[in-house]
Amino acid sequence: MRVLFAAPDAYWPIWAPILTGLAPEMELVRDADPASIDAIIHAPNGPISDLSPYVNARLVQSLWAGVERIVTNPTLTQPLARMVDPGLARGMAEYCTGWALRAHLRMDAYAQDGTWRNDLTPPLADARQVTILGMGELGRGVAAILGGIGFRVTGFSASGRAVPGVEVFGPGGLDRALAGAEILIALLPDTPQTRGLLDADRLALLPRGAWLINPGRGTVLDDDALLAALDRGHLAHAVLDVFRTEPLPPDHPFWSHPRVTVTPHVAAETRVETAAPVAIENLRRAMTGQPVLHLVDRRKGY
């Protein structure tokens, strides 16, 4: 099979040796007659935006978990698969667990100023509710680790699909999910339904003193409403890894706000060692007529 590697130049020396080592039957190319291409490995920041010439491609395999930058491309007629990478899921779970524990244990309360603050003992994890917005592959992975620590984990899912050990609120249950969220983790995709979802009214539903952790998509959050909720003390802190504009402009108020921690979109990276086997498995499935894994539902946008 001839596979077009449509990703930035910097990806090639990292990905090509591993991909070709896993699939010696594959001819991996960076340029060729579009009609000769059987499948495309794609990164949204790569060199190709017009997919219409690739009339014989049986699959576009994204290297990113988020597909909002390609799913709306009008030239995309081929099946599209998003990247569901066990390493990416594990990285997201570790990021969310670390920041959730920081919030839960009130680590920031112990200033190193000579004051003995032994009245700040946190409750045990089973007395703390963590709510996860988005119970897909990433959300379920985060829930598994936090539940294993002992947190009371609830979730919100547009599908309402059951998750073992987690109380899942389905459509119509978002407000109830937010009302008990002492620590809120947002892992929602970027869709028309999720953009601006966490506005002033919904942030006001969170318990006073709640923490917000957003490593999902920056578009889910109303930036001004978040700053207002932090300024009036309704929310204690926000940990933000994703933003409407990236890199986050140096003059953005998030950088200087004392109750905001900015991380530079590092919560979950696609790791070639764990992602390459996923891509190869899907390419082989597409070439042999087997069901492709993690196909994107274009109506939903993910």
Q: Which of the residues are catalytic?
A: 217, 265
Please name which of 14, 85, 16, 276 lies closest in space to residue 284, comparing C-alpha atoms. 276
Burial class (CB in 10 A: 0-12, 13-18, 19+), 135: buried
Strand ranges inside the chain, DSSP E: 2-6, 27-29, 39-42, 60-62, 80-81, 129-133, 152-156, 167-169, 183-186, 210-214, 235-240, 260-262
Q: Whose structure tokens read 């994703």? A: 242
User: Distance between CA atoms of 300 and 43, rounded to whole angstroms?
Assistant: 20
Q: Is the peptide bond before 250 cis (omega within 30 degrees of 0)?
A: no
Closest of 64, 60, 18, 46 to residue 269, by C-alpha: 64
Q: What is the dihedral of CA 33, 302, 289, 50, to 10 degrees?
A: -10
Token pair in block for residue 291: 């069901």
